[in-house]
Amino acid sequence: MDWRWDFTFDVVIPRLWEAAGVTVYATVASFLLALVGGLILMLLKTSKNRMVSFAVTEFIELIRATPLLVQIFFLFFLLPEVGITLPPLTSGIIAIALYNSTLCAEVYRAGLQAVPRGQWEAAMALNLSTYRTFRRIIIPQSLPPIVPALGNYLIAIFKETPLLSFVAVGEIMHASKLIGSEYYRFTEAVTIAGVFFLVMSLVSAQLVRLVETYLQRSIQR
Amino acid sequence: MKGPKIRFEKVLKAYGELKVLEDLDFHVDENEVVAIIGPSGSGKTTVLRVLMTLEGIQGGTIFVGDEPLNVMRKGDRLVPANRAHVRRIRSKIGMVFQSFNLFPHMTALENCIEAPVQTKGLSKSEATAESLELLAMVGLTDKRDHYPSQLSGGQQQRVAIARALAMRPEILLFDEPTSALDPEMVGEVLNVIRDLARSGHYTILLVTHQMGFAREVSDRVCFFDGGVMVEEGAPDDIFGNPQNDRLRHFLSKILEAT
């Protein structure tokens, strides 16, 4: 196999290093937006207003039933048609966040449902306010199932960011493609990009597991 | 003379077509101990649940003391009770559940002090002192720092009783408090309830399948069947000289089983 270390160190790693920053930024930004968006979707979906909950349920179905890449293209190419022009990175982050917020909403819902009904009733019988019931009783008990699931979505989002290369966001996959076509050498750039994803995923998975163990220990059942 | 502590007036509780309580008139005097017996599905647990406002009612009025629970006076009209009104009345009532419902992420002591600190405005040290006394009363001083998962069923239920008492309720509701327990743990929980019943400080409503215990501790026994109170009376009359056929049938089946 033809692998050139000088090319790797002089060209590939410096350029990918810069692009890796974009990948990490896109991941973190999408994830944070998805966390908040998921909460909003979950609250709207369980709204007492039938119209609202119906609309949100259908919206979630729509997002889930279409590929993320299509949504990224949709936001990037079609929003300008209605007068909204966003930079590729911004529209890409919004698309990934939107897609994952529907998944987060489901995680929140499942986490809350995992808390037995009796806990709500005990809190009510003890006259705790709704806020206190959530803050002190319900949320602490729903975190152990919720946090690992969210951690997995963080890793999933990270692995989805290469899709942004389709709308020319300068993340790591895009950068390695550019290097490849500039120098007619793909081996090093694509391999290093792959290794980057592998290492980051393994490290984050380990972190998620640590948090999981910590939570499990903090709540005894 | 004071009116009854708890009064149900034509109370209707229904799930769609199914009427769980139908035009129920029912009352409990202050510091009276009333046992409610009946087959499952008779609505006996529902009496406690609507009183604790875990569930709403579709008709009638429930009074706690001389105040209506599900409605409130506004000028000279009655309007549906708002949250503040319900919470004020609810603070007089404590409930012990069949499945304990302790908070699993808190120790026995934390379970007890949580609500008094949050809702009664007690300082943490006041609440702790009071809860320790209650835990001592139920015989669990040494388990104060244990989590529910580290306690037996009987111990969990005793913590749950201490937790209910920590709210300084005037009315105590026991919803089949020993039904989820292994037989050897029933006694320790009944002993605590017996002491509370005999103290004369609480108005107690006890839903139970322990007929012997109901007969022993209660001032009055009410037999429910099909959402209706079929018969009520002194324990010796209900168990010794039942009038209604359905009650006789129920008692004979219970006796067969034991």
- Per-residue pLDDT at A169: 92
CB contact under 8 A, A128 and B97: no
Strand B220-225, strand B228-233: pairing: antiparallel
Tell me what the pLDDT averaged over chain A comes to: 92
Concatenate the DSSP letters of all residues of A113-160 into one string: HTS-HHHHHHHHHTT--HHHIIIIIIHHHHHHHHHHHHHHHHHHHHHH
Q: How many cross-chain Cβ pairs, A to B, lie less than 8 Å apart?
A: 64
Q: Which residue of A has its CA nearest to B118?
A: A128
Q: How far is A135 from chain B (nearest CA, A)?
A: 11
Using an 8 Å CB-CB cutoff, list chain A residues near B172: none
The Cα–Cα gap between A57 and B83 comes to 30
CB contact under 8 A, A129 and B119: yes
Report the run of H or E that residue A1 belongs to, with start and end.
none
Q: Give helix A172-183 / helix A187-218 axis angle, nearest 10°.
A: 170
Using an 8 Å CB-CB cutoff, list chain A residues near B150: 220
The dihedral over CA atoms of B54, B55, B61, B66, expressed in degrees to the nearest 10, equals: 0
Q: Which of B114, B147, B149 sits opposite A136 (nearest CB)?
A: B114
Largest CA distance in chain A: 72
Enumerate residues 6+ apart whose C-beta is below 8 A from A1.
A187
- Per-residue pLDDT at B258: 63
Q: Which residue intervals of B4-51 are DSSP H helices?
A: 44-51
Q: Is B41 exposed, middle or buried (0-12, 13-18, 19+ CB in 10 A)?
A: middle
In the predicted model, what is the mean pLDDT of residues A18-33? 95
Band (pLDDT 50/70/90 cuts) for residue A68 is very high
- Per-residue pLDDT at A219: 63
Using an 8 Å CB-CB cutoff, list chain A residues near B104: 141, 219-221
Q: What single DSSP character describes residue B57? A: -
Q: Which of A121, A136, A141 sits opposite B104 (nearest CB)?
A: A141
What are A182-221's pLDDT values in tens digits? Answer: 999 999 999 999 999 999 999 999 998 898 888 877 664 4
Sign, CA dihedral B93-B96-B101-B105, equals positive
Using an 8 Å CB-CB cutoff, list chain A residues near B95: 125
- Per-residue pLDDT at A13: 92
Query: Looking at the complex, does the CB of residue A129 fall below 8 Å from at least one CB of chain B?
Result: yes
Phi-psi region of B238 (alpha: psi -120 to 50; beta: other; left: phi over 0): alpha
The Cα–Cα gap between A49 and A53 comes to 6
Question: Residue A81's Cα: distance from chain center in Å?
Answer: 27
Q: Which residue of A has its CA nearest to B48?
A: A125
**Interface residues of chain B, partner chain A, Cβ below 8 Å:** 52-54, 87, 90-91, 93-95, 97, 99-105, 114-115, 118-119, 147, 149-150, 163-164, 167
What are A136-173's pLDDT values in tens digits? Answer: 999 999 988 899 899 999 999 999 999 999 998 999 99
CB contact under 8 A, A119 and B101: yes
CB A157 within 8 A of CB A178: no
In the predicted model, what is the mean pLDDT of residues A26-41? 96
The Cα–Cα gap between B91 and B143 comes to 27
Using an 8 Å CB-CB cutoff, list chain B residues near A220: 104-105, 147, 149-150
CB A20 within 8 A of CB A194: no
> What number of residues does chain B have?
258
CB B132 within 8 A of CB B141: yes
The Cα–Cα gap between A213 and A220 comes to 12
Place of tokens 């003379």: B1
- Per-residue pLDDT at B246: 93
CB A129 within 8 A of CB B115: no
**Strands ordered across the beta sheet of B59-64:** B18-28, B6-15, B59-64, B67-68
Q: Which of A116, A132, A140 sits opposite B118 (nearest CB)?
A: A132
CB A180 within 8 A of CB A4: no
Q: Which of A122, A141, A220 sits opposite B101 (nearest CB)?
A: A122
Tens of pLDDT along chain B (258 residues)? 467 999 999 999 999 888 999 999 999 999 999 999 999 888 999 999 999 999 999 999 999 998 898 888 888 888 888 888 999 999 999 999 999 999 999 999 999 999 999 988 899 999 999 999 999 999 999 999 999 999 999 999 999 999 999 999 999 999 999 999 999 999 999 999 999 999 999 999 999 999 999 999 999 999 999 999 999 999 999 999 999 999 999 999 887 776
Tokens coding B104: 């699993």
ipTM given for this complex: 0.92
CB B37 within 8 A of CB B29: no
pTM above 0.90, yes or no: no
Strand ranges for chain B from DSSP E:
6-15, 18-28, 33-37, 59-64, 67-68, 71-74, 77-80, 93-96, 171-175, 203-207, 220-225, 228-233
CB contact under 8 A, A128 and B114: yes
CB contact under 8 A, B119 and A127: yes
The Cα–Cα gap between B81 and B79 comes to 6
Q: How far is B253 from chain A (nearest CA, A)?
A: 30
The Cα–Cα gap between B26 and B8 comes to 5
